[in-house]
Structure 1
């Protein structure tokens, strides 16, 4: 991939336990589709050293913008529960059309886990 953008991806394994691991991707082409980037990240996570096995085997299927450079951050530790229509990336769009810019931080998670957590957003310690 080429294009020069730096994108941080948070692998969210558990919303309730606030269990996530950030990974940095450099030279990300913002012209590629969200589906292509998702496939790339899934493939990379499955074989990247330093990623614990529970994160490697998790069934990620959705991405959402958590933070963009020079923007306000959410008070949620994992990711905001607001503005899903705007911030969840549609797989048929390019990253750029979905709102991803250089230094954007994305959450990569399983949608059913997110929907369940959103119904009862309580943290477990």
Structure 2
């Protein structure tokens, strides 16, 4: 897979309380780019993704977190785990590969302010 790039699934989380998210698959991702470069690329692609409802295309996503890696255990949370933020939230200036992202990794892309509010009071609304 050296020259082809990785396949990553990005889960766009619009609301933690309502469990409102949509997955997008990105192929040919260079794992040597930084987290903010990949986040900027995802944001730039959103307006053209007609399969997404308009609120998902214009939402102010700013943070990425590793949800799941291939052949690893999954969380019981429907949107994403609220644990291990220090290890799983992608940091600025660090390459995807150095952050632990590999082929077939699933990432959450969300607004950090919403995540912190939900983490402080994890109640869902149906």
Cα distance between partner residues in 2 of 1:48 and 1:54: 12
Which one is further off, 23-32 or 43-52? 43-52
Shift of 1:60: 0.2
Two-structure CA RMSD over aligned residues (Å): 0.9
**What is the aligned partner in structure 1 of residue 76 from structure 2?**
75
TM-score by length of 1: 0.97
Map 1:23-42; keep pairs closer than 5 Å.
Answer: 23-42=24-43
> How far off its partner does 1:3 sit?
4.1
> Which stretches of structure 1, 4 residues or longer, exceed 6 Å deviation after superposition?
none
- Return 5+ residue gaps in structure 1 as ranges: none
CA contact (8 A) 1:10 1:106 kept: yes
For 1:64-85, what per-residue CA distance to the aligned partner results, in whole angstroms no more than 9, with x for missing partners? 0000000000000000000000
Q: Which deviations, in whole Å up to 9, do the C-alpha atoms of 1:36-77 show, x marking residues without a partner?
A: 100000000122221110101110000000000000000000
Q: SS of the residue aligned with 2:52?
A: coil
TM-score, normalised to structure 2, is: 0.96
